[in-house]
Homo-oligomer: A and B are copies of this chain.
């Protein structure tokens, strides 16, 4: 069963789960691949293929049970447990993340925050005290951190990552506009806003060109 699952499949699974939760809240009990596809902006065949990589969750002729499929997806995505996050960087992005209640609801708990700014160290965010960045490695161990969230400036990002990796962190979510280098054993995801804006810029420029041409 240890097949390679593509990144696009995983993202779609996450989207399906969100949709199922909404359908469930609206009182719907079953759903067809066709409907799921329409909401997720994909195709029915894609939905069925994605799910079939992990098992047979539907009933032929009858579709999928909304609540059961949600349970399966949570299991597949590893959301049946809580994940412990350390946030590096108590700036604007860090603050926005810390206040983002969706995270905790979904099982991602920020259990430690570090920063280099002496004015911030020692102050409280809700019931957490901001710790000095020099304690990152020790905290990662003592707090049994699963993921590091990088919300520091680009130049400090690699240093922060190296420390966390030494302390055994398994996953990294990077908001700094820098390409980080980590061992293969560590999973890395990047969120790069400038890159997304540049992709929009590219698409729009291109459109205009072909209109004119």
Q: Does A198 contact B (CB under 8 A)?
A: yes
Show 10 A/B contacts (Cβ-Cβ < 8 Å), sorted by A.
A10-B199, A14-B195, A19-B179, A39-B179, A83-B197, A92-B99, A93-B100, A103-B194, A189-B197, A189-B200
Indicate whether A179 sits within 8 Å of B147 (C-beta atoms), given known contacts A78-B201, A202-B77.
Answer: no
Q: Is A119 an interface residue (CB 8 A)?
A: no
Question: Is there an interface contact between B2 and A213, defined as CB atoms closer than 8 Å?
Answer: yes
Chain A residues at the B interface, C-beta cutoff of 8 Å: 2, 5, 7, 10-11, 13-15, 17-19, 39-41, 76-79, 83, 92-93, 95-97, 99-100, 102-103, 106-108, 146-147, 170-173, 177, 179, 181, 187, 189, 191-207, 209-210, 213
A63 to chain B, nearest CB (A): 20
Given contacts A103-B194, A189-B200, list 18 more A-B pairs with CB under 8 A: A2-B209, A13-B202, A15-B179, A15-B195, A77-B198, A79-B198, A79-B201, A83-B201, A93-B96, A103-B193, A106-B197, A108-B201, A146-B204, A170-B204, A171-B203, A173-B196, A173-B197, A187-B203
